[in-house]
């Protein structure tokens, strides 16, 4: 009994001691005022007879980027991750300082057939010579990555590159350069179905034509395959299938397979397939699988595979929520304006951003980054209000909201533009009398807070004294018993 009473009074004493601390903490949370946020930083004519223009040349005395060595020292293209990478440093000058370079893929080579041409502009690049001395060169630095076929064979394959351009005199020109790539991660030519020790038929796709070269989503195209017999025995019961495993391209022929009874040695034939492209096919390269099955007169069966690249183009399509500014805003103030953008198309939009501009408003740029097909994003534009640039200093102001993006070539496009408006009002001026009243009210609040804290401290002291007296009295009574 004595211990229970002692614990009870001890608990009461602890609660009384905690009351002042809780009251002080609550009083500290009731004060304060508004603070302003910080904004994001937004960031010649020629005439008469002219001499013939100099042709373009390959720079064999310097290496650039990942080349590692000059062409004169033995630079060779690299093979990694299923691609062969070719670097061609071309010197010279053209009209507009741009050239178009297209690889010519050889028949039966290790590459996925397709169109890999690119436009290359002349730029200043860091170059290193054979003595490892660095300099700067104005060069057409072409870097091409060509995908390799899964059924490629080891060997050394020369690749010819056709360069077309307009020379400085305005004449159309065409030149060719070549590089050889060594394949070491493919099949061995001396084993398997391609063994050179036995005579056999061998059918390979010699050339491929896709028309049109750039296929639109929801459109149609045709593929013409040129198949050549490079073997030693006639091929019979030939079946050629061209299909898209992703399902974005549907063959519109009665069958997606074509049949030939016989193809003699050294003969060539052409096969044409027609396709429709799905409206929702993503922009970029797609690959059709070519499968050739055939047999010889002895009953041996063979299968060859190849891939055909088809480039799909999709128009950019952007959706957005209309932007409406507040009906009126005070000068020397700030607010945030949310913007919502949607990629409603089937091509990736790069570096999407929203810009707001209006007289009397200082605005940050809402950077949304890259938007994949069917993706959306939102962000707040931070706006700071000042005053109008003309007279009067306050009143109606008009501006615009612009939605911009870049395509895969880095070119900037304006997707949409909206007109916006708001009214800038003069900030409310505080008079000396009102300011004095605010200071007096603040002082009274402060005085009241101090009185309230003193009262709580006094009550806490009284509670402690009462608790001590009660505890002593109870203990004295217990001792007397």
Judgement on whether residues 254 and 369 belong to the same structural domain of the protein: no
pLDDT one-digit tens code per residue, 319-329: 999 999 999 99
Which residues, at least 6 apart from 396, have a Cβ–Cβ distance to it below 8 Å?
Answer: 421, 422, 423, 424
Domain for residue 157, yes or no? yes
Decide if 398 contacts 439 (C-beta within 8 A).
Answer: no
Residue 446 lies in a domain: no
The closest of 146, 173, 157, 132 to 87, measured between CA atoms, is 146
Same domain, 62 and 178: yes
User: Could you give the dihedral angle defined by the CA atoms of residues 145, 150, 151 and 157, in that order, rounded to the nearest 10 degrees?
Assistant: 20
Of 253, 280, 314, which residue constitutes the final position of a domain?
Answer: 314
Q: Verify that 71 and 173 share a domain, yes or no.
A: yes
Do 176 and 61 lie in one domain? The reply is yes
Please state which of the ranges 107-121, 171-185, 425-439, 441-455 shows the lowest mean pLDDT.
441-455
- Encode burial over 294-330: b for 16+ CB neighbours within 10 A, e otherwise: bebeeeeebebebbbbbbbbbebebebeebebeeebb
Tell me if the bond preceding 392 is cis, omega within 30° of 0.
Answer: yes
For 451-473, the pLDDT digits (tens) are: 667 777 778 888 888 788 887 77
Neighbours of 415 (CB within 10 A): 18
Give me the domain span that covers residue 289.
Answer: 196-314
pLDDT at 193: 43
pLDDT at 415: 93
Looking at the structure, do residues 144 and 211 belong to the same domain, yes or no?
Answer: no
Question: Residue-wise over 252-266: b if at least 16 C-beta within 10 A, else e?
Answer: eeeebbbebeebeee
Give percent of the chain with pLDDT exceeding 70: 84
Nearest Cα residue to 266 out of 107, 475, 45:
107
Which two structure tokens, joined as six digits, stand for 283? 């922009």
CB atoms within 10 A of CB 289: 15
Q: Is 224 helix (H, G, I), strand (E, B) or coil?
A: strand
280 lies in the same domain as 231 = yes
d(CA 91, CA 456): 87
Q: Does 45 reside within a domain? A: no
Where is mean pLDDT largest: 138-142, 201-205, 225-229, 408-412? 138-142
Work out the average pLDDT over 66-74: 83
The pLDDT value recorded for residue 106 is: 62
184 domain residue, yes or no: yes
pLDDT score of 245: 83
Q: Which two tokens stand for residue 232?
A: 């030693």
182 and 206 part of one domain: no
Residue 458 is assigned to a structural domain of this protein: no
The CA-CA-CA angle for residues 309, 311, 316, to 5°, reads 160
pLDDT for the residue 107: 57
Contact 382, 361 (CB under 8 A): no
Residue finishing a domain among 189, 216, 249? 189
* 397 and 326 within one domain: yes
Give mean pLDDT, residues 154-167. Answer: 85
Taking residues 122-148, report their average pLDDT.
89
- In the structure encoding, which two tokens stand for residue 183, read together? 């394949």
| 3-14 burial code (b ≥16 CB/10 A, e <16) | eeeeeeeeeebe
- Location of structure tokens 């796709």: 205
Inter-residue contact 224 to 274 (CB < 8 Å): no
- What pLDDT, on the 0 to 100 scale, is given for residue 403? 96
Domain holding 239: CATH number? Answer: 2.60.40.150
In this prediction, residue 105 carries a pLDDT of: 79
Number of domains in the chain: 3
| CATH number for the domain harbouring residue 340 | 2.60.40.10
| pLDDT tens sequence across 335-388 | 999 999 999 999 999 999 999 999 999 999 999 999 999 999 999 999 999 999
Of residues 289, 297, 148, 311, the one with CA closest to residue 215: 311
Give the pLDDT confidence score for residue 448 in this predicted structure. Answer: 62
Pairing between β-strand 412-425 and β-strand 328-330 as defined by DSSP bridges: parallel
Same domain, 69 and 154: yes
CA geometry: angle 454, 456, 458, nearest 5 deg:
70
Assigned domain for 134 exists: yes
Q: Dihedral through CA 197, CA 201, CA 203, CA 206, nearest 10?
A: 70
One DSSP character per residue, 379-439 reads EEEEEEE---SSSSSSEEEEEEEEEEEE-TT--EEEEEEEEEEEEEEPPPPPPHHHHHHHH
Same domain, 303 and 351: no
Q: Are 301 and 293 in contact (CB under 8 A)?
A: yes
Within this chain, do residues 218 and 338 fall inside the same structural domain, yes or no?
Answer: no
Q: Are residues 252 and 346 in the same domain?
A: no
| H helix or E strand, kind and range, residue 9 | helix 2-29
Q: Is residue 70 in a domain?
A: yes
Contact 368, 319 (CB under 8 A): no
Confidence band, pLDDT 50/70/90 cuts, at residue 47: very low
Among candidate residues 210, 319, 332, the one with its CA nearest the CA of residue 273: 210
- Domain end residue (candidates: 138, 171, 189): 189
Would residue 451 count as lying in a domain?
no
Whichever domain contains 169, its CATH number is 2.60.40
Report yes or no: 73 and 130 within 8 Å, Cβ to Cβ.
yes
């Amino acid at each position: 009994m004595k211990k229970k009473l002692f614990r009870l009074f001890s608990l009461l004493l602890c609660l009384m001691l905690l009351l002042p601390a809780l009251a002080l903490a609550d009083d500290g949370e009731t004060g304060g005022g508004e603070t302003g946020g910080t904004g994001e930083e937004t960031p010649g004519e020629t005439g008469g007879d002219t001499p013939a223009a100099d042709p373009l040349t390959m720079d064999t005395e310097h290496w650039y980027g990942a080349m590692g060595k000059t062409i004169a020292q033995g630079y060779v293209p690299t093979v990694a991750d299923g691609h062969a990478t070719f670097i061609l440093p071309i010197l010279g000058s053209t009209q507009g300082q741009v050239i178009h370079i297209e690889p010519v893929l050889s028949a039966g080579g290790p590459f996925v057939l397709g169109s890999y041409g690119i436009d290359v502009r002349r730029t200043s690049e860091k170059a290193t010579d054979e003595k490892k001395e660095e300099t700067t060169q104005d060069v057409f630095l072409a870097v091409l990555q060509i995908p390799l076929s899964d059924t490629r064979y080891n060997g050394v394959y020369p690749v010819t590159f056709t360069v077309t351009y307009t020379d400085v005199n305005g004449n159309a020109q065409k030149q060719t350069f070549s590089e050889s790539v060594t394949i070491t991660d493919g099949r061995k030519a001396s084993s398997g179905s391609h063994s050179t020790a036995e005579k056999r038929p061998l059918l390979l796709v010699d050339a491929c034509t896709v028309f049109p070269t750039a296929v639109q989503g929801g459109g149609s195209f045709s593929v013409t395959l040129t198949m050549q017999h490079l073997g030693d025995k006639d091929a019979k019961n030939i079946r050629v299938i061209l299909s898209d495993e992703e399902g974005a391209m549907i063959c519109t022929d009665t069958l997606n397979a074509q049949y030939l009874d016989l193809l003699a040695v050294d003969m060539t034939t052409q096969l044409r397939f027609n396709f429709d492209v799905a409206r929702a096919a993503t922009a970029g390269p797609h690959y059709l699988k070519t499968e050739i099955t055939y047999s010889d007169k002895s009953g041996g069966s063979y299968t060859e595979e190849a891939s055909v690249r088809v480039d799909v183009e999709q128009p950019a399509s952007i959706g957005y929520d209309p932007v409406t500014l507040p009906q009126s805003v005070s000068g020397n103030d700030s607010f945030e304006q949310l913007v919502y953008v949607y990629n409603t198309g089937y091509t990736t939009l790069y570096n999407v951003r929203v810009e707001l501009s209006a007289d009397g408003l200082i605005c940050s740029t809402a950077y949304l980054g890259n938007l994949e097909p069917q993706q959306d994003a939102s962000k707040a534009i931070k706006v700071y209000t000042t005053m109008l640039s003309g007279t009067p200093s306050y009143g109606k102001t008009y501006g615009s909201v612009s939605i911009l993006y870049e395509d895969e070539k880095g070119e900037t496009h304006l997707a949409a533009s909206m007109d916006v408006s708001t009214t800038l009002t003069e900030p409310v001026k505080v008079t000396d009398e009102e300011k004095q009243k605010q200071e007096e009210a603040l002082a009274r609040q402060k005085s009241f807070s101090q009185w309230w804290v003193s009262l709580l401290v006094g009550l806490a002291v009284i509670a402690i004294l009462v608790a001590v007296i009660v505890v002593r009295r109870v203990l004295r009574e217990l001792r007397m018993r």
